[in-house]
Chains A and B, each alone.
Chain A
Amino acid sequence: MFLAWRELVFARARFGLMGGVVALIAILVVLLSGLSSGLVNDGVSGLQRLPVTAFAFAEGTKTDSAFSRSTVNVNQAEAWKGRDDVGDAAPFGNMLVNAKATTAAGTQVPIDLALFGVDPGSFLAPAVSDGAGLGDPDGIVVSKTVLDEGVGIGDTVVIDRLGTRLKVVGTTGDQRTFGHVDVAYLPLRTWQQVRAGAGPGDEVRDGAYEEATAIALRARDGDRIDLSGGDAAAGTTGMTLKESFSASPGYSAETSTLTLIQVFLYAISALVVGTFFTVWTIQRKHELAVIRAMGASTGYLMRDTMIQATVILTVSTAVGFLLGVGGGTLLTTTPMPFALEAAPLVLAALLLVGLGLAGAVAAVGRIVRVDPLAALGGQR
């Protein structure tokens, strides 16, 4: 520590430059983490907030198109309900529509909606923070983000082409979106009519009222659901809630792209720190030889360098994260999908410091090879 701190102060420009690069990477990591969390929220918050353990889709449904392609019979829920590890099962409808909302002031607001069809009496029925819950055939409960677009409780929403009129009766009070589209809960029967393409006064085709997108499953407390066993009995394809996220439009592509960028940033950070300490060690080779000739152990020198790396990484990551969070807070007020969440940020900070230290460890390995004999002029 004696030498480490004094060298940090003495060579503050060099260490500051390296720290500045790490801080810039930290800012990028914060912004990407915020964007990643924002996109996850925009993509699957509607699913995340369902009290669901798993979904049972139509047999043979592929993950990447499950919610748009799957059609199950509502009676298949009964097969799941009878299983010991299933606490509850209910049909669940999911479809995307374009609509226009007419506000109290008479203005029309075009909106896209992800219609979640649920039985009002089932465990899937949403809790509301304002207004009334599901019950009326034309009543819908919307995500808070619908209200952010200027639509209010009591306003009317008309589905394009069908002309189905729905009334906003309540809001969940939080963000619930699916595939970047705001969620609106509506009674399953109304959802089935919309799904069947039946407008007001149209006759609903046979069998439409027996259809849903999937069976939503809730495990008994503390249990995990045996999906393969249930699938065999019910003739479905089960997916955990997390697996079903990949069925949200664009979810996998967006998250994997951002994850890849973040992985590259961590690698770049480790490389920057490793390269800096490699050059730093090479520059100090003669000095290190003198110190070793004085009797300093390899551990003493490595400890000093690791202290320097820890101080630089910790300080620059903290500065970068503070700046990133400051800038990110401004972004949360924009339409950009951006959310600052503590857990991913803490993980990102730990990874940045941890991988940077790994880079430094690789670099200080050179210290082992510094020959104290070089202090005499390296004649051997």
Chain B
Amino acid sequence: MTTSSTSPRPDSLRPGARERGGLLVEGVTLTLGDGDATVTALDDVHLDVASGEFVAIVGPSGSGKSSLLAVAGALTTPDTGRVLLDGVDISRASAREKARHRRDRIGFVFQSGNLIPALTALDQLRFALDVAGRRAGDGHDPRELLDRVGMGHRAGHRPHQLSGGERQRVGIARALVTRPAVLLVDEPTAALDRARSDDIVTLLAHETHESGVATIMVTHDHEVLGHCDRVLSMVDGRLSE
């Protein structure tokens, strides 16, 4: 039944990465729905992503990609299995503890950025720090990070004043500003053209390697996979190389 697997650990890509932690998904199963409408979204999934590694997961709609992100991101609790974040099992944590893990150790990049309409680009990053209970300057410099993703000149602009690509850049910066251990990226190029898609994934790869975050990107876009360290495929809740 189980066909999930992990690729060989890419220690050659990120020397010492394993020591800095990362994400380990062990034998995770997740069923959705009730009664006759039960669907197995994740079927005994194993996944190991080292710090500084950029892993892409591809697969058709409904294959379980986003469910994997939800489990890895402490948004939902798996039926069986464990999710270890830097060695800490977060899969059985309470809702309050999961929220704490999310704000302290997990960064999300959503489709279309999903920025807060009322906030400027710079405030999006400051808000993420506020949610995490951290201050700018305490090793977290929102302005410097905006500059790094090429959005420093748009710091005072709100989401509706930004293009799709710009929104995604801000979204990436927002996810990284709290310096998470894991970055979970949900269809980042869904609303972008080819050139912009390439820019965004290049940026994600660069930031993953620069900041040493363990990144999982779920995507339909096969054109951008060349930037990833590993590509895994998901079909009917099963993960394979």
Contacts and interface: CB of A to CB of B under 8 A. Distances in A.
Name which of B96, B114, B119 has the most chain A CB atoms within 10 A of its CB. B114
Contact of A2 (B104, B108, B126): B126
Most buried by B among A295, A296, A373, A377: A295
A10 B117 contact: yes
Interface of A: 2-3, 6-7, 9-11, 286-287, 290-297, 300, 372-373, 375-377, 379-380
Interface string B144-167: 000000000000001000000000
B119 A380 contact: no
B218 to A, nearest CB: 9
Interface residues of B, number: 34
Given A11-B118, A296-B131, A372-B75, A6 B123 contact: yes
B104 to A, nearest CB: 7
B130 interface: yes
**A-B pairs with lowest CB-CB distance, top 6:** A295-B103, A10-B118, A295-B102, A2-B130, A7-B118, A290-B114
Contacts of A295: 99-104, 106, 131-132
B108 A293 contact: yes
A296 B76 contact: no
Contacts of A292: 99
Contacts of A373: 70, 75-76
A202 to B, nearest CB: 84
Given A9-B118, A297-B96, A373-B76, 9 more contacts: A2-B130, A3-B116, A290-B116, A293-B73, A294-B102, A295-B132, A297-B99, A375-B114, A380-B41
A376 B75 contact: yes
B40 interface: no
B32 to A, nearest CB: 6
Nearest to A372: B75
28 contacts: A2-B123, A6-B119, A6-B123, A10-B117, A11-B118, A287-B117, A290-B108, A290-B110, A290-B114, A291-B131, A292-B99, A293-B108, A293-B110, A295-B99, A295-B101, A295-B102, A295-B104, A295-B106, A296-B103, A297-B96, A297-B99, A373-B75, A375-B108, A375-B110, A377-B66, A377-B111, A379-B67, A380-B41
A294 B116 CA distance: 12
Contacts of A291: 116, 131
A338 B96 CA distance: 55
Interface string B81-104: 000000000000000100111111
Contacts of B99: 292, 295-297
A346 B102 CA distance: 45
Nearest to A375: B110
A372 B100 CA distance: 13
